[in-house]
Chain A
């Protein structure tokens, strides 16, 4: 990475985090309705639930994928002689 690219990466991270912060801030002011109110579930109305759910869900999916890869990953020439 060149010094220029390193600087651009730092700026990108800063802008990205600012946007994320802004989303969290706006989300605080929004009233979310419960999707499954009839079942007494209202945790999805908690402040910042959806950002957390998005982060957590993909985090878990990534970890599951990497765990699966331990057993199922092969070189992409695996079927080359088919």
Chain B
């Protein structure tokens, strides 16, 4: 077999086994070589364009396949691993490098999957790697956050798996020659009208992917989990899970209207929660949700330009978001602090970090001549184009106009969030008295390198446009993006949004607080309900249990006076994982029973 017959992900997965066995320079040399080889191999596979198949219970797995969006995602994933490793060079945690390879390997694997089963396997590999990466962070709540993260993704994984099983069985029934194929779900483009028992499989797959994208009501896992990584671990974490979800949504659900609404909610949610946040890495996690929201809007629009926009923005986003997490990680590394109310005045001693953070902040806002400007604007333009097309056809399109204005408002919002607010409270405001030295050379080099990419793509987006799914559309758009009209729209909007921040500065005073989110339900309400309501009821039932057991022959001396086993102990740590997975599994099992037994009886 040729090299291009194997998934490029295997190269990174080799690192999981190899890296723990190596020490010192050899370890780092291998760590740097792996993403470079993986990138070269990925492009060899892309150029060859061939598929590779593996027999699987009478069907064909297709672990090597090139989707239209594979080149852009594979390229940025490899660049990200390389930059992330350079940034992590001086970290001491032994488990972090193999975990990063497992995580990135899983993500890269998904990009080349031509079938749903291989996709699911790599998807779960990614979950495993990212969970270990969170645990390796060894922050105050790394273990708990890792468990909650794993629980959330295990629940999403169960939905995805059930959806895949249903879709495959439906395809087999319909006589599909390739039932495992990971392809676009055309039937979903009609959106809400397809919500039925028959389309349940597709909806479950969509929901499973949306959980990983950080869509509502499960957006809170991102600010909960990512800030618990180490400075370098969080940089890696920011790149893969959500963007792999974006990739899979792009392949399977582009043009599905409901995805627009999920995206729009995320774009606004990310800004509002970010504005209230005091922790610099939690703030960036919220703005990550905001940006993935922009990508989802592009996917939901589903035109060639919007798909290019979503994919191009994912590329730009991975780089500038990693840059922002590198800069905030450097602040944590140098000061040991992440709370804005405890920081300030660092411009004097950390100028490189400050400028890199500003460049990342400008890029995330789509400031003219940064990478976000040349990528996000494609989605913006695609909304306008699609609205005009629908107006010509006389179809309802007000939602697109509203989406567009909210989209622009969220863009202005993320500018004050991730650029102005972050820079102001960390590097200026009051003098915290902290004078930490700049971070080591490798961290600076990684930041400067990524900042360079942000600026380069802002002036010369051509190389990025050339690897997008519909490169011709993006290339045509290049003239529009640099027009004086467009530049002044963005410049005027962003500059004056910055003014509003300073006008309202007294309202922005930082306090050591968090903002409650939907996760309050499973982190506080359900456990409290269990403890204060359910447990007392079950304790009362203990007397009934005693009575029943006493009636049983030979059980007279049983330990019936104690509480039922289920309430005897406090909820264990694994509750975060077992309960959601159990509930989702039970629900889906019920669905499967109804689907397979009841519907055929009704002729469904």
Report which A residues bind B (CB closer than 8 A): 1, 5, 16, 19-20, 23-24, 26-27, 30-33, 35-39, 41, 48, 50-62, 64-66, 68-69, 72-79, 82
Contacts and interface: CB of A to CB of B under 8 A. Distances in A.
Contacts of B401: 36, 39, 41
Given A62-B504, A69-B276, A50 B271 contact: no
A54 B384 contact: no
Given A78-B516, A79-B514, 8 more contacts: A32-B489, A36-B388, A54-B493, A58-B501, A62-B500, A65-B276, A73-B276, A74-B516
A61 B519 CA distance: 23
Interface centre among B141, B144, B412, B492, by most chain A C-beta atoms within 10 angstroms, is B492
Nearest to B401: A36
B493 A53 contact: yes
B495 A65 contact: no
B409 interface: yes
Contacts of A51: 492-493, 495-496
B361 interface: no
B497 A54 contact: yes
Given A26-B488, A58-B413, A59-B504, A76 B512 contact: yes
B495 A57 contact: no
Contacts of B514: 73-76, 78-79
B364 interface: no
B538 interface: no
Nearest to B489: A50
A82 to B, nearest CB: 5
B1 interface: no
A74 B501 CA distance: 23
A54 B494 contact: yes
**Chain A contact surface mostly:** helix
A51 B496 CA distance: 5
**Chain B contact surface mostly:** helix
Given A30-B484, A58-B413, A76 B495 contact: no
A48 B492 CA distance: 8
Interface in B463-503: 484-485, 488-489, 491-497, 499-503
A50 B388 CA distance: 21
A9 to B, nearest CB: 9
Nearest to A35: B384
A32 to B, nearest CB: 5
B416 interface: yes
B408 A57 contact: yes
Interface in B332-348: 339
A52 B507 contact: no
Given A35-B384, A53-B493, A54-B497, A61 B275 contact: yes
23 contacts: A23-B491, A30-B484, A32-B485, A36-B391, A39-B387, A41-B401, A51-B496, A54-B492, A54-B500, A56-B500, A58-B412, A58-B416, A61-B268, A61-B413, A62-B500, A62-B501, A62-B508, A66-B276, A72-B515, A73-B276, A74-B513, A76-B513, A82-B523
Closest 5 CB pairs of A and B: A54-B493, A57-B409, A38-B391, A50-B492, A58-B497
Contacts of B219: none
Nearest to B488: A30
Interface centre among B401, B413, B496, B524, by most chain A C-beta atoms within 10 angstroms, is B496
B492 A62 contact: no
Contact of B493 (A33, A50, A59, A78): A50
B141 A35 contact: no
Nearest to B513: A73
